[in-house]
Amino acid sequence: MRRPFLWVAIALILMGTAAVGVLAVGMKSANDAQTQHEAVYSDYRSALRAVERSSFTVYEGGYEIGTYTFEELGLREGLETAVKNAYSALDRLEPAEFAELSIREKRDWIAAGTTPPREYAVPLDALTLAPVLEDLADIPRTQPVDAHIEQISGVYSVTPEIPGNTLREDVVIEELRDCFAGQTYKAGWPLELSCEITDQDCYVKPEIDAAEMQSRLETAARRAWDQMQIDVSFARMDPDGAAETIGREELRRILSIDDQGGITMNSEAVDEIVAGWAQKYNVQNVPYLFDSYVKGYTPLDFIQCSYELDQQALSDQLRTQILSMQSASLEAPVFCYGEDGEQLFRDETWIEVDIDNQQLTYFKNGELILNTDIVTGALYNGHMTPTGLYDTHHKQTEIWLVGEDYTVFVHYWIGVIGEMIGLHDAEWRENFGGENYSHNGSHGCINMPVDAIASIFDIVDDGTPVIIHGHNRYFVPYTGNSDATPNPLRGTTAAKAEE
């Protein structure tokens, strides 16, 4: 009767032993899983840290432009996502969190197996090159210079092109992207890429190189000679406005092409042409051709002048213009000498009193200072303002002018002819210019608006030439018989008279 109990006891002992064995095996598997997971997790974190430290260095001609992190280039997030996707959710658990899993979950994780890839393609969808391009833009750049023609000592020659360092941005961008193409990231190791942008033809090229310019030179030169024409006006020396022209035939005498394709200028031929013009137009003791502000060139009988062409200046002008291969109109530079042998109006300073157009114009050192309407001497009673060449003197302010039939107060006085005729304001007048002077003119003085004379009073020096010209011929106002210029070059008085 005791044997059944014995067998039961033995069975229970055996079952307990088996349970203990199973538990021991489970614990070992859990410990192995924990160890394995820590290794996988360590690889995962190492891969992420390596992404963070990955960089891209850009060079231009061996010079480092900058080193950029994948964060700056927009690549970090994409590459980190690729790394994360290669690991399971359990792989990415913190070791402490993994330890809390059940033995079955850990055994299942081991059974599933984890073999993440060791290399990842660099995703370029989010790549931004803006930081690189900004640094490249901060570098001083020079534009390329085309090959061109220069003239040295009368000889044309081709100056070679000069390459610049202005970037072709499209080529630079393509080269930078190509430096990423096909690159793979090896887990655990930072990716350190570099790119030399000059490996491609990244600079803007000159449009014309020396070889092309040399081939163009002869053809272009002959075409330019055939089309070029230089007109030279001698209006300052000739009342009829004579002019001379340098055209195709003269240019073929002046210019030639040598065996090397260089274009040579015959400066002596230019000088000979100018010397011939000087012989033709130089004149002695003729009326001075004054460039009136309203009338243009006007002969003045009261100024005798001897005109001489400035041959050196004109030759230099012509040589410069011919070298430009462009047509042009030039005005011959001239010297004008008075009867005393001195050059007239050398400093280009004068006051012009134009009686016919009732205007005063003041030039100082070649600059127009004032143009204003005026009133000169009355025509109907013989008080005409005398014509001639005078000069300013004896400036005064706040004075009384006294004559046989007048006593008037003026703020400004500039003497012109002795102490009797000068420039002064006339506040009693409402109108200046036009035809007032015929019947309502002055006693011979030049009446000016007070603002006009005030504006020049302090800058008109004693001895400033005053040129008074015009017909001083009586006419009935507003009958169309005045001597005002019908088509004035400048100024307003004549135009007002016609309104």
What would be the CATH architecture of the domain defined by 210-337?
A: Roll (3.10)
Bridge partners of 473?
Answer: none
Identify the residue whose tokens are 């073999």. 115
Pairing between strand 388-391 and 465-469? antiparallel
**pLDDT tens column, 387-418:** 999 999 999 999 999 988 889 999 999 999 99
DSSP assignment, residue 430? S
**pLDDT tens column, 35-82:** 999 989 998 898 889 889 999 999 999 999 999 999 999 999 998 898
Q: What angle do CA 66, 67, 72 make, to 5 degrees?
A: 110
497 — pLDDT class (breaks 50, 70, 90): very low
447-451 contacts at long range (C-beta below 8 A, 24 or more positions apart): 447/374, 447/375, 447/376, 448/360, 448/372, 448/374, 448/423, 448/424, 449/372, 449/373, 449/425, 450/411, 450/412, 450/425, 450/426
Query: Mean pLDDT over all residues of the chain?
Result: 87
State the alpha helices, DSSP H only, in 113-194.
130-137, 169-180
Most confident of 116-130, 155-169, 189-203, 441-455: 441-455
What would be the CATH architecture of the domain defined by 350-498?
A: Beta Barrel (2.40)
Question: What pLDDT score was predicted for residue 471?
Answer: 93
Percentage above 70 pLDDT, the chain: 90
Question: What pLDDT score was predicted for residue 498?
Answer: 47
How many Å apart are CA 30 and CA 106, to the nearest integer? 6
DSSP assignment, residue 304? E
Fold agreement (210-337, 350-498): no
Structure tokens at 250: 């003269």
Helix (H, G, I), strand (E, B) or coil at 92: coil
* Residue 65 Cα to chain centre, angstroms: 29
Report which secondary-structure segment, H or E, holds 227.
helix 210-227
How many Å apart are CA 147 and CA 167, to the nearest integer? 19
How many Å apart are CA 64 and CA 443, to the nearest integer? 86
pTM of the model: 0.55
How many CA atoms does the CB half-sphere of 331 hold within 13 Å? 8
pLDDT surpasses 80 at 257: no
Question: What pLDDT score was predicted for residue 248?
Answer: 87
Q: How many other CB atoms are found less than 10 A from the CB of residue 460?
A: 20
Question: What pLDDT score was predicted for residue 383?
Answer: 94
Question: What pLDDT score was predicted for residue 494?
Answer: 46
Structure tokens at 495: 């135009």
Per-domain boundaries in the chain: 26-144+166-205, 210-337, 350-498
Helix (H, G, I), strand (E, B) or coil at 421: strand
Contact 187, 118 (CB under 8 A): yes
Segment 352-363 shows an average pLDDT of 97
- More confident of the two residues 123 and 422: 422
How many Å apart are CA 72 and CA 128, to the nearest integer? 8
Segment 335-360 shows an average pLDDT of 93
Question: What pLDDT score was predicted for residue 259?
Answer: 63
CA-wise closest residue to 302 among 283, 287, 285: 287
- More confident of the two residues 154 and 159: 159
**pLDDT tens column, 273-322:** 999 999 999 999 999 999 999 999 899 999 999 999 999 999 999 998 88
CA-wise closest residue to 460 among 375, 396, 409: 396
How many Å apart are CA 203 and CA 211, to the nearest integer? 20
Question: What pLDDT score was predicted for residue 159?
Answer: 84
How many Å apart are CA 263 and CA 238, to the nearest integer? 35
Residues 6+ apart with CB under 8 A from 290: 297, 298, 299, 300, 303, 352, 467, 469
Report which secondary-structure segment, H or E, holds 28.
helix 3-53
- The torsion region of residue 365 among left (phi > 0), alpha (psi -120 to 50) and beta comes to left
Helix (H, G, I), strand (E, B) or coil at 188: coil
**pLDDT tens column, 195-251:** 999 999 999 999 988 888 777 777 767 777 788 899 999 988 887 889 999 998 898
Question: What pLDDT score was predicted for residue 163?
Answer: 92
